[in-house]
Amino acid sequence: MLRLHYEHISPFVDPAAMDREAAAAREAHRLLIEKSGPGGDATGWRDLLARPDYALLEDIAETARHIRNEADILICIGIGGSYLGAEAVIQALSPTFRGHAETPEVLFAGHHMSGAYLHDLLEYVQGKSVFVNVISKSGRTLEPAIAFRCVRQYLEQNFDDANKRIIVTTDPKKGALNTLRAIRGYKKYVIPENVGGRFSVLTPVGLLPVAVAGIDIHALFKGAANALAQLAHPNDNPALSYAAIRSALLKQGLSIDLLSVFEPALYGFGRWWQQLFGESEGKNRTGLFPFVAQYSTDLHSIGQYVQEGQRSLMETFLMVEQTGHALSVPEESASGAENLDGLDYLTGRSLQAINRAAWEGTARAHADGDVPNLTLWLEEISPTSIGEAIYFFEHAVSVSGYLLGVNPFDQPGVEAYKKEMFKRLGKP
């Protein structure tokens, strides 16, 4: 389970204020568990973990095995929660450099409207065996709908069995994809009606692309189910502590929560976290603005601002106890190059230990610069641990939304840009 470290929070929060927020978090937790808070009918992401559909998991795994045997590439078409969760898990649990990977390459489309990107994608897949998973409840969201029309026509022009290469993940009954499926006979998976997009990574929305990438979805699911059980009680609950700390700091006038990772594999997870918290909290002119950074890279870009800029932010570090890699700084052996780089003091030290020292130094320096920060520790980067982290943040953001007095499961504001865009495009 995630371990919460908040040594660098205590100096910034009054104990009495923290006690009040902790009590409010316990009440918000009750609303979540009992489904009695705003949007309580949209908490099916908890139900599917409490009562797993093992037949569905095995069906997804079997479909993924078929795709792995037949495909060079799976194009996953979707936007927002329809792709960010899958991308996060695949990035975290796949080799950084594919080389001659034994699993299909999972590529994403439909998450923006760049013609250059889509053109290059269709050029790249020429001559390769391609399958497509299109994910949309309505089938009419503009970005994925455009991408699917283009990719579908490419498949129909290049594969005699195009209809067997397309899997739709959509609403149980309604929507354009259901209508098209009735004509073309595509295989279908259902997006549960009581699960919103940003909470859908452990439904077929995320599980099919993740399984195609060769990741153990049973272990991923089990990790999340373990976290569900561990976070069921309000006492000694790190998800509630995380939500309470963020709420206390927001009330003190902070406006930004910077999620910082020291492992590049977790940057995609940070982008998923960014959507989860942004869409869940950012309503009624409240909420911390979520932003993700990759250290130590970004310590050489925004690091100066974090250290000495406006004091409007807190920081959440997402760290890993054991990376599983023992690479160490080698001894310098080249003649005439003895310690020219000044690294002899690090000879024999593991990169993991050096990275940890970088976190310790950064956390201390940022606290000294009046940036309250806490750290969430993953045991390792594995399907089980990533599953635990997914549920941890889903639980925490639900509690956090209730602390803010908002419905954490809707997103009315995302329609505003669409209205203006469609007006300019002349949509009937």
What is the residue-wise DSSP string for 335-360? TT-TTTTS-GGGTT-BHHHHHHHHHH
Catalytic site includes residue 418: yes
Q: What percent of the chain has pLDDT over 90?
A: 88
Residue 421 domain-assigned (yes or no)? no
Alpha-carbon dihedral angle through residues 222, 224, 229, 234, given to the nearest 10 degrees: 170
Three state DSSP letters for 356-422? HHHHHHHHHHHHHCCCCEEEEEEEECCHHHHHHHHHHHHHHHHHHHHHHCCCCCCCHHHHHHHHHHH
424 pLDDT higher than 90: no
Residue 11 domain-assigned (yes or no)? yes
pLDDT band at 336 (very low <50, low <70, confident <90, very high): low
Q: What is the pLDDT of residue 335?
A: 60
150 pLDDT higher than 90: yes
Contact indicator for 251, 20 with CB cutoff of 8 Å: no
Residue 129 domain-assigned (yes or no)? yes
Contact partners, residue 265, CB within 8 Å, separation at least 6: 91, 92, 93, 96, 381
Handedness of CA 415, 419, 420, 426 (dihedral sign): positive
SS3 of residue 209 by DSSP: helix
Give the residue numbers spanning the domain of 198: 44-215
Tokens of 5: 């470290």
Catalytic site includes residue 164: no
- Cα distance between residue 198 and residue 85, in whole Å: 8
Are 54 and 183 in the same domain? Answer: yes
Q: Catalytic pick from 173, 300, 419, 423?
A: 300
Residue 9 domain-assigned (yes or no)? yes
Q: Catalytic pick from 21, 87, 263, 279?
A: 279
- Cα distance between residue 38 and residue 227, in whole Å: 23
- Cα distance between residue 69 and residue 370, in whole Å: 54
Q: In which residue are the tokens 């990169």 written?
A: 351
Q: What is the pLDDT of residue 334?
A: 63
CATH number of the domain bearing residue 76: 3.40.50.10490
Residue 24 domain-assigned (yes or no)? yes
- Residue where a domain terminates, one of 215, 250, 268: 215
pLDDT digits (tens, 9 = 90+) for 209-255: 999 999 999 999 999 999 999 999 999 999 999 999 999 999 999 99
Are 189 and 55 in the same domain? Answer: yes
Distance of CA 113 to CAs 118, 119, 171, Å? 8, 11, 23
Q: Catalytic pick from 66, 112, 251, 418?
A: 418
Contact partners, residue 289, CB within 8 Å, separation at least 6: 255, 256, 257, 278, 282
Are 157 and 24 in the same domain? Answer: no
- Residue where a domain terminates, one of 159, 182, 215: 215
Distance of CA 137 to CAs 140, 196, 278, Å? 8, 10, 21
pLDDT digits (tens, 9 = 90+) for 23-66: 999 999 999 999 999 999 999 999 999 999 999 999 999 999 99
Q: What is the pLDDT of residue 2?
A: 86
Are 88 and 15 in the same domain? Answer: no
Give how many domains the chain has, as a whole number.
2
pLDDT digits (tens, 9 = 90+) for 277-309: 999 999 999 999 999 999 999 999 999 999 999
Are 62 and 181 in the same domain? Answer: yes
Are 162 and 243 in the same domain? Answer: no
Are 209 and 109 in the same domain? Answer: yes
100 pLDDT higher than 60: no
Contact partners, residue 267, CB within 8 Å, separation at least 6: 91, 261, 292, 294
Residue 422 domain-assigned (yes or no)? no
Are 315 and 178 in the same domain? Answer: no
Average pLDDT along the chain: 95
pLDDT band at 365 (very low <50, low <70, confident <90, very high): very high
Are 166 and 275 in the same domain? Answer: no
- Residue where a domain terminates, one of 215, 233, 255: 215
Q: What is the pLDDT of residue 102?
A: 82
Q: What is the pLDDT of residue 33?
A: 97
Are 59 and 158 in the same domain? Answer: yes
Are 228 and 288 in the same domain? Answer: yes
Q: In which residue are the tokens 């009562």 written?
A: 51
pLDDT mean over 186-196:
96
Residue 387 domain-assigned (yes or no)? yes
Q: What is the pLDDT of residue 340?
A: 81
Contact partners, residue 243, CB within 8 Å, separation at least 6: 25, 28, 396, 397, 399, 400, 403
1 pLDDT higher than 80: no
Q: What is the pLDDT of residue 98?
A: 72
**pTM (2 d.p.):** 0.95
Q: What is the pLDDT of residue 375?
A: 98
- Cα distance between residue 163 and residue 171, in whole Å: 19
99 pLDDT higher than 70: no
Catalytic site includes residue 123: no
337 pLDDT higher than 90: no
Q: Where are the alpha helices (DSSP H) in 174-288?
A: 176-184, 204-212, 217-230, 238-251, 267-281
pLDDT digits (tens, 9 = 90+) for 105-119: 999 999 999 999 999
Residue 425 domain-assigned (yes or no)? no
Are 152 and 187 in the same domain? Answer: yes
